[in-house]
């Protein structure tokens, strides 16, 4: 899952991003509304976390802009304005969820995974041949045998399953599973893909499409 945090308190924004990366998510950060909206429209995110009281562009305007642009990203409003009226207003703007500050980080993580699972392309449990990926519990098995994967390996598998047999390029995997700080010239995707294939065992489920990428037919 790739997440954008739009928060004008740099320490809080960076702490959230670091925590989400520890949970296996790709996390980008923007410290004002203008740069946040630019990133949200330029990149493909699963969830955008938006503070309401942002400089340059208000969080409400970001939410409205994303809805108007038909962005597929889910929107989680994270703000100190936590009255019932504030929450109702945020949800009426099109936000998918609303979490007032202060918050428990574990609850934020749980809400993010719940939002990601709402996507019609990402059912809670994905099944392909004898492979089962329980997104809710972050568990993978093949032929009934549990498969222990790292967070990045699981992220690649998640993207391939969501593509439903379509080809996913290495560049797209780098963008969806890692974050904006990832080196586009790195061999990280190739190395991680090799480990994933080895762990999933034979016969190989993942097909390499020469010059295009990978797919899970």
pLDDT in tens, 7-43: 999 999 999 999 998 888 889 999 999 999 999 999 8
E-strand ranges in the chain read: 2-6, 26-30, 47-50, 74-79, 97-100, 125-128, 131-134, 139-142, 145-147, 207-209, 213-215
Global model pTM greater than 0.75: no
Looking at the structure of the chain, the number of domains it has is: 2
Q: Do 111 and 135 share a domain, yes or no?
A: no
Q: Can you tell me whether residue 65 is helix, strand or coil?
A: helix
Residue 11 has phi, psi (to 5 degrees) of -65, -45
Q: Do 134 and 112 share a domain, yes or no?
A: no
Model confidence band, residue 162 (pLDDT cutoffs 50, 70, 90): confident
**What does the alpha-carbon distance between residue 118 and residue 120 come to, in Å, rounded to a whole number?**
6
Q: Do 165 and 85 share a domain, yes or no?
A: no
Over residues 112-139, the mean pLDDT reads 80
Angle formed by the axes of helices 188-200 and 151-162, nearest 10°: 80
Q: Do 43 and 107 share a domain, yes or no?
A: yes
Q: In sequence order, what are the residues at sequence separation of 6 or more whose Cβ sits closer than 8 angstroms to the Cβ of residue 8?
A: 31, 32, 51, 53, 54, 55
Q: Do 51 and 149 share a domain, yes or no?
A: no
User: Tell me, what CATH number does 45's domain have?
Assistant: 3.40.50.2300
Q: Can you tell me whether residue 7 is helix, strand or coil?
A: coil
The two three-digit tokens of residue 132, written as one number: 């089962």
74 and 118 Cβ atoms separated by less than 8 Å: yes
Handedness of CA 95, 78, 152, 138 (dihedral sign): negative
Q: Can you tell me whether residue 31 is helix, strand or coil?
A: coil
Model confidence band, residue 119 (pLDDT cutoffs 50, 70, 90): low
Q: Do 53 and 73 share a domain, yes or no?
A: yes
Helix/strand/coil percentages in the chain, nearest 5: 40, 20, 40
pLDDT computed for residue 83 by the predictor: 66
Average pLDDT of the chain, as a whole number:
88
- The residue range of the domain holding 16 is 2-117
Looking at residue 43, the DSSP 8-state letter turns out to be S
Q: Do 25 and 109 share a domain, yes or no?
A: yes
Q: Do 11 and 103 share a domain, yes or no?
A: yes
206 and 165 Cβ atoms separated by less than 8 Å: no
pLDDT computed for residue 124 by the predictor: 73
Give Cα 81 distance to the centre of its chain. 25
Q: Do 74 and 158 share a domain, yes or no?
A: no
């Amino acid at each position: 899952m790739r997440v954008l945090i739009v928060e004008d308190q740099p320490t809080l924004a960076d702490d959230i991003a670091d925590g989400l990366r520890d949970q296996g998510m790709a996390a980008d950060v923007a410290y004002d509304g203008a740069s946040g909206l630019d990133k949200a429209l330029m990149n493909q995110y699963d969830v955008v976390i938006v503070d309401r009281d942002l400089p340059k562009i208000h969080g409400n305007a970001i939410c409205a802009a994303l809805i108007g642009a038909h962005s597929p990203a889910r929107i989680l409003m994270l703000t100190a304005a936590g009255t019932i009226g504030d929450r109702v207003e945020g949800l009426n703007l099109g936000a998918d969820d609303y979490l007032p500050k202060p918050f428990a980080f574990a609850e934020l993580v749980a809400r993010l995974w719940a939002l990601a699972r709402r996507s019609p392309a990402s059912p809670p449990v994905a099944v392909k041949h004898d492979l089962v990926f329980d997104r809710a519990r972050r568990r993978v098995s093949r032929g009934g045998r549990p498969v222990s994967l790292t967070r990045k390996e699981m992220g690649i598998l998640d993207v391939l399953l969501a593509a439903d047999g379509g080809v996913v390029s290495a560049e797209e995997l780098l963008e969806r599973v890692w974050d904006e700080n990832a080196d586009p010239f790195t061999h990280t995707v190739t190395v991680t893909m090799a480990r994933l294939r080895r762990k999933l065992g034979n016969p190989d489920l993942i097909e390499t499409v020469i010059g295009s990428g990978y797919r899970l037919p």
